[in-house]
């Protein structure tokens, strides 16, 4: 299932990665259908004894084929922009299974989501609630609302992907949330449906989630005593994956910790996993262009850069880098794996023991989440293709960009020089 070695060579399901690189070139993103399906079903089965909806976080990987695959499984979707909503709809997703998160929803985005008939807006500020009420009344409807509570819980993750502390921009504190629920209950354009939180990404411990849930339930009980009842709890996402030596919690342990605290409560559970579904279901292939030895420093210069895979430069993230077809004839060296972009930050991996030669193909593993979706055209570089492997079939689910597409939508000045 997914990616494995056969006689030392890396395969995506039943296709050798070297064959994919030979046919489709590098850099390229490669995803496994089987791995995506297995990861999604893992969440679905872990919560199978309870009314629930898995709302895949589109920001992790928004390729239409990935969304289409998940929609066929019955997935819901967590979106953070109008563009992501349109992606979900284009991929055949059910808008009635969409939750809309994000701190800066525009009036146009709100109106489009209301028109589409989404499941809920995760409201993140008082100003947003007031705007949503106004937009909904203009359109003659009520907006389904769940307030995103910021429980001030430390998720123990990288500060760039921590979202549940009071100094983060996301959600509202419990005291303010209490007041917002009472205000919303009196708004003609608002229909209160839920309460939720999302404390961060790449979580390695269920304890912060359990702590946040306890705090949310205290608020929910106070609201119920005041006559405000809710139909769902949104527990966010953020469960981590293994990149190197991390030990993410088992989904059964995660589910058990959550369900134990919800026993006897009838509300539906919404979950928003992203990375945990697609992260280890993808790799990025890149080719060694040059081996450079510079006064004690060894560089493997590859054809993929920070514009193709931003995580190492943005977060200092570590991802495994391995030859797709290991060599026995080249002794390993300790390489800096660097790309072609004119930035010193353009390093995909530091201090990697590799036995490689020019022309060899490397696989940057765990690249299914926050890989292509964060790619850019910096330095005038076309973005790579995305390929989805299904058994022995390789589907091109996004074509490699061409140079002329780099300036699509741009215009030269009119008139004479």
Point out the residues that are catalytic: 342
- What distances in angstroms separate CA 162 from CA 154, 169, 232, 237, 300, one per listed residue? 8, 10, 24, 12, 33
Residues sharing a CB contact under 8 Å with residue 218, sequence separation 6 or more, in sequence order? 174
> How long a stretch of residues is the chain?
417
Sign of CA dihedral 364, 367, 371, 373: positive
d(CA 156, CA 205): 8
Q: What φ, ψ does residue 331 adopt, rounded to 5°?
A: -70, 145
Helices (H) and strands (E) counted in the chain, each on its own, are 11, 21
Helix, strand, coil % over all residues of the chain, rounded to 5: 35, 25, 40
Closest alpha carbon to 228 in 272, 261, 259, 190: 190
What are the start-end ranges of the E strands in 174-331?
A: 190-196, 232-234, 268-271, 282-294, 297-302, 321-323
Neighbouring CB atoms inside 10 A of 277's CB total: 30
What are the beta bridge partners of residue 16? 11
- Spacing of C-alpha 194 from chain mean position: 23
C-alpha distance across the termini of the chain, in Å: 59
Q: Which residues of 365-381 are buried (b: 16+ CB within 10 A; e: fewer)?
A: bbbbbbbbbbbeeeeeb
d(CA 270, CA 235): 6
d(CA 116, CA 122): 16
d(CA 277, CA 240): 10
Question: Which string of DSSP letters, residue by residue, matches 28-74?
Answer: EEEEEHHHHHHHHHHHHHHTTTS-EEEEEEGGG---HHHHHHHHHHT
């Amino acid at each position: 299932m997914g990616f494995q070695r056969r006689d030392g060579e890396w395969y995506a399901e039943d296709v050798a990665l070297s064959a994919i690189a030979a046919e489709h070139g590098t850099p390229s993103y490669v995803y496994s259908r089987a791995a995506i399906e297995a990861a999604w079903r893992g969440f679905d089965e872990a919560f199978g004894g309870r009314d629930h909806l898995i709302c895949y976080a589109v920001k992790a990987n928004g390729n239409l084929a990935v969304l289409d695959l998940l929609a066929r499984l019955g997935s819901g979707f967590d979106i953070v922009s109008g563009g992501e909503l349109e992606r979900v709809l284009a991929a055949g997703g059910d808008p009635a299974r969409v939750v809309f998160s994000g701190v800066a929803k525009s009036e146009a985005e709100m109106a489009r989501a209301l028109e589409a008939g989404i499941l809920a807006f995760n409201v993140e500020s008082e100003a947003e609630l007031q705007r949503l009420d106004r937009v909904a009344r203009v359109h003659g409807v009520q907006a389904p609302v769940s307030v995103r509570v910021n429980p001030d819980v430390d998720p123990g993750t990288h500060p760039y992907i921590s979202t549940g502390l009071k100094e983060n921009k996301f959600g509202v504190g419990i005291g303010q949330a209490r007041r917002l629920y009472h205000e919303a209950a009196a708004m003609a354009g608002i229909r209160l449906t839920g309460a939720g939180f999302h404390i961060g990404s790449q979580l390695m411990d269920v304890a912060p989630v359990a702590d946040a849930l306890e705090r949310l339930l205290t608020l929910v009980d106070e609201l119920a005593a005041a006559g405000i009842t809710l139909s769902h709890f949104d527990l966010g996402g953020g469960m981590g994956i293994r990149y190197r030596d991390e030990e993410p919690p088992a989904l059964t342990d995660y589910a058990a910790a959550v369900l134990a605290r919800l026993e006897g409560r009838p509300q539906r559970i919404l979950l928003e996993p992203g990375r945990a579904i697609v992260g280890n279901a993808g790799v990025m292939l890149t080719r060694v262009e040059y081996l450079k030895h510079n006064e004690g420093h060894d560089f493997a210069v590859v054809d993929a850069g920070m514009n193709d895979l931003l995580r190492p430069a943005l977060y200092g993230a570590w991802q495994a880098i391995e030859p797709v077809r290991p060599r026995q004839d080249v002794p390993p060296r300790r390489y800096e794996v660097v790309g072609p972009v004119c930035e010193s930050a353009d390093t995909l991996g530091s201090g990697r023991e590799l036995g490689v030669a020019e022309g060899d193909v490397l696989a940057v593993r765990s690249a299914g989440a926050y890989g292509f979706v964060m790619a850019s055209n910096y330095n005038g570089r076309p973005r790579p293709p995305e390929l989805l492997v299904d058994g022995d079939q390789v589907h091109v689910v996004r074509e490699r960009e061409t140079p002329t597409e780099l300036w699509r939508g741009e215009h030269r000045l009119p008139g004479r020089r």
